[in-house]
Structure formats: structure tokens, C-alpha cells
Amino acid sequence: MKYLLLTLFLFMPLLTTPSMAAESNTNYNVRFASLDVNSDGFMAKSEFIVAFSNGDMAVFATADSNKDGSVSREEWERFKTENKS
């Protein structure tokens, strides 16, 4: 039993690496108009999740600079400018 647990413990990082890599390779350089599905001038969390299914919610939180729960066009453009890779 100890060997089984030890083996699982050692191989767990290998099992999680691909999904983490997919998140880190997400391209956030997207036009705001394509993200604002309901055309209200803001990207809601739900719109972010639909657009970036592998996206990191920390990205949304960073882009939402005024912390009002949505991202405006200005916030999105600022986020993209400040986080160019």
C-alpha cells in the first residue's frame, strides 16, 4: 500500500502538467468586440469563460482593474498592452 501511494504521489505532477501548460499558452490577444457577446460595453466573467475555456480566472481579475466584476474595453486594452509577450 505504501508503494502504491508513493508511486501515485510521484506521478501526480506529470498528470497535471498538460492542463497547466494549456492554460499558460492561452492567447488573450483578442478584440474586445468578440468578447462582449451581449454588446453592453463590458466583458462579464461568464463571457470570459465562454471565450477562454482554458483561461485563468486570475487573468480576468487582473484585467478588471477597478474590481467591479466586469472588464471594460479600456481595461481589456490596457491589460493586453501591459501583458504583451
Which residue range(s) make up the domain with 76?
Answer: 2-82
Determine the Cα–Cα distance for residues 47 and 36; give it in Å rounded to an integer: 7
In the prediction, which pLDDT does 18 show? 43
**Rounded CA separation 74/76 (Å):** 5
Residue range 13-34: average pLDDT?
64
Residue 68 host element (H or E): none
**3-state DSSP assignment of residue 70:** strand
Q: Could you report how far apart the first and last alpha carbons of the chain are, in Å?
A: 46
Q: Which residues of 26-35 are buried (b: 16+ CB within 10 A; e: fewer)?
A: eebeeebeeb
pLDDT at 84: 81
Q: Over the stretch 34-70, which tens digit does the pLDDT of each residue have?
A: 999 999 999 999 999 999 988 899 999 999 999 999 9
**pTM for this predicted structure:** 0.67
Number of domains in the chain: 1
The pLDDT value recorded for residue 29 is: 87
- Percent of the chain at pLDDT above 70? 71
CATH code assigned at 75: 1.10.238.10
